[in-house]
Chains A and B, each alone.
Chain A
Amino acid sequence: MLVFEKSKEGRGFSSLPACDVPEVLPKEEYRRGLELHLPEISENDLSRHYTELAKKSYGVNDGFYPLGSCTMKYNPKINEDMAGLPQFTEIHPLQPESTIQGCLEVIQKAEEYLCEITGMNRMTMQPAAGAHGEFTGLLLIKAYHESRGDHKRTKIIVPDSAHGTNPASATMAGYSVVSVPSMEDGCVDLEKLRAVVGEDTAGLMLTNPNTVGLFDKNILEITDIIHECGGVNYYDGANLNAVMGIVRPGDMGFDVIHLNLHKTFSTPHGGGGPGSGPVGCKEFLAEFLPSVLVEGTEKLTLKKPEHSIGEVKSFYGNFLVVVRALTYLMTLGKEGIPEASQNAVLNANYMMNKLKDIYPMAYDEVCMHEFVMSMEELKKGTGVSALDIAKGLVDNGIHPPTMYFPLIVHEALMVEPTETESKETMDKAIKVFRKIYNFAITAPDSLHQAPVTTPVTRLDEVEAARNPVLRYQF
């Protein structure tokens, strides 16, 4: 039931004292004639409404969440406490510098930690999410080429295995996209890469480990090829959780990167945001960074980079998300950060190994923090698709892996356990995966119907898109 359907005229609760000054409103012609329909509801009913909605949701706190490429690790509670400190939440973004020294220190410290982990020189916290970071990073590349009077670089190279955001970001930044086919193992085909680069290459967008969960060993050759033709290498930090403290994008030849604090650095996804997508870069791009950077040691100040691309949103980024990430970084530190990555990789290999006798692995070799299984054969044999397996997992209390990504693997399921799951949790999940596989063979129809234990069963997405109902009609 919608909150509007629980509304009763005259109900509600008062939270404000009476107005203590004479009532003054702008002239009648500026006032709304439309009626407002906000709910009228008691606090008890409203509170129960959201408890009911919470029950119909599934978060990392509810159970195993092996959603590939999303790094659904545990969200530590201390992070929430620190982000809730009034000395952070009650600070106006336009206060005098002398009164925001704590906020500036948070940003400066986060920048120091993250630059060291990634091998970058400077970093902005302004972008609000990964996609926003990509757009920002590409504009740095654009500003750099233009500052040198080099206007012929109109193309960004993106492997065909990339996430859809990469090409979409390139288009927003005014670039045309050159898609390079990957080799069978999802790695970059050096010959094909050499064939497409040239004087019009602005840069390359890549993630390593790549989108199929494998580390591209030719990474130095790849980044060299781009540098030699005058391009800039962009690192999509989506998969950084596999390699923290082991390799750094900066040492692999990348010049500009974005991170996802809501993946790698343990801040909660919130049902789809707020995230945070800091952009780091090498020294030669730092003068183009957006927003302001924190400078100084004792007395911290904000300074706009000399040839800044401007602002990609208001103020200094999703600050409270940065507070959470810094709390996490300080907690783990020098030893804990690499330990997280090592265990993320160990857990993925452990699960892969325990499943590969029945689930065909798209790439049967040591994986990084995630692995891809293909349901193509299963579907041909039984009619059970990756979607059916996913929905079967839902009935068994497990959030499904990422489905149908990467696109270069048919009927893909991508599993990323993360480092924060116990061996028991993974062993239980392995049992469930195996049980579902048996269902697929013995009772495929039951999986076509799944899930059946959820508040709703499979929803009619065709109807939703053909005849969109996007709001309640009063």
Chain B
Amino acid sequence: MKLGEGLVYSKSHEWVKFEGDTAWVGLTDYAQSELGDLVYVNLPEAGDEIEVEETFADVESVKAVSDVYSPITGTVCEINEELLDSPEKINEDPYGAWLVKVENVTAKEELLSGEEYEAFVASEQA
């Protein structure tokens, strides 16, 4: 399982990168490997409000669809449109393939460091 640089993680397997009150959200390497080959991503629209622990997107593999939960509260200011045509980017480069860019982040759930997230995944698998 790979980890990214300068990222924090949620227990529902999203990563967040903060820069001031702006944040990027994506899926962790562990999440993408569990989900398998992704074939489509449903993303919100720029301007949408997203909220902690609410689903804001979903990702499709051939035989499953999985909700993506937001680890933060804020306003989507940009979506990664490249993923709409090339969802495989999430499989290939999970920490490069951000889903949404969020501004005015007003709340966040308790997020884990890389080390803590690794331990959490290990405990989940046990």
Contact = CB atoms under 8 A, between A and B. Distances in A.
Interface of A: 404, 461-462, 465-466
Secondary structure of the A contact surface, majority rule: helix
A466 B88 contact: yes
14 contacts: A404-B63, A461-B62, A462-B37, A462-B39, A462-B62, A465-B39, A465-B40, A465-B60, A465-B62, A466-B37, A466-B39, A466-B40, A466-B87, A466-B88
Contacts of A466: 37, 39-40, 87-88
- List the 3 shortest-distance A-B pairs measured between CB atoms, nearest first: A465-B39, A462-B37, A461-B62
In which size bucket is the chain B interface?
under 10
A462 B88 CA distance: 10
A306 to B, nearest CB: 42
A466 B37 CA distance: 9
A168 B57 CA distance: 19
Contacts of B87: 466
Given A462-B62, A466-B37, A466-B39, 11 more contacts: A404-B63, A461-B62, A462-B37, A462-B39, A465-B39, A465-B40, A465-B60, A465-B62, A466-B40, A466-B87, A466-B88
A229 to B, nearest CB: 30
B99 to A, nearest CB: 17
A466 B63 CA distance: 13
Interface string B45-60: 0000000000000001
A309 B40 CA distance: 37
A465 B87 CA distance: 11
A462 B39 CA distance: 6
Interface in B1-56: 37, 39-40
B39 to A, nearest CB: 4
A171 to B, nearest CB: 14
A238 B63 CA distance: 23
A385 to B, nearest CB: 12
A386 to B, nearest CB: 12
A35 B10 CA distance: 55
Contacts of A465: 39-40, 60, 62
A112 B6 CA distance: 71
A462 B62 CA distance: 6
